[in-house]
Amino acid sequence: MKTLVLYESKHGGTRKIAELIGSKIENSVVARIQNFVGRLERYDRVIVGGPLYGRRLSPVVMDYIKENKSMIDQVFVSGLLGASADEELHENFDDEFIQDKHIEFIGGSLEWKQMNYLERLRVRIGARIKKNTPTDTYDMKSIDRIAKGVY
Ligand SMILES: Cc1cc2nc3c(=O)[nH]c(=O)nc-3n(C[C@H](O)[C@H](O)[C@H](O)COP(=O)(O)O)c2cc1C
Spatial contact of 68 and 75, defined as CB atoms under 8 Å apart? no
* Residue whose CA lies nearest to ligand 1 atom number 12: 79
Residue 115 burial (CB count, 10 A) = 16
Residue 117 lies in domain: 3-148
- List the residue whose alpha carbon is closest to atom 27 of ligand 1: 10
Instruction: Give how many domains the chain has, as a whole number.
Output: 1
**Residue 92 Cβ < 6 Å to ligand 1:** no
Q: Is the pTM of this model over 0.85?
A: yes
pLDDT the model gives residue 3: 97
Cβ-defined contacts of 87-92 (< 8 Å, 24+) = 88/52, 88/55, 91/55, 91/56, 92/52, 92/55, 92/56, 92/57, 92/62
CATH number, domain containing residue 122: 3.40.50.360
Ordered per-residue pLDDT tens for the chain, 151 residues: 999 999 999 999 999 999 999 999 999 999 999 999 999 999 999 999 999 998 889 999 999 999 998 999 999 999 987 667 788 888 888 888 888 877 888 988 888 889 999 999 988 887 777 777 767 788 899 999 999 987 6
Q: Where are the alpha helices (DSSP H) in 9-139?
A: 13-23, 59-67, 85-92, 95-101, 117-126
Q: 3-state SS string over 116-134?
A: CHHHHHHHHHHCCCCCCCC
Which of 78, 111, 122, 130 best tests ligand 1's pocket when mutated (most atoms within 8 Å of CB)?
A: 78
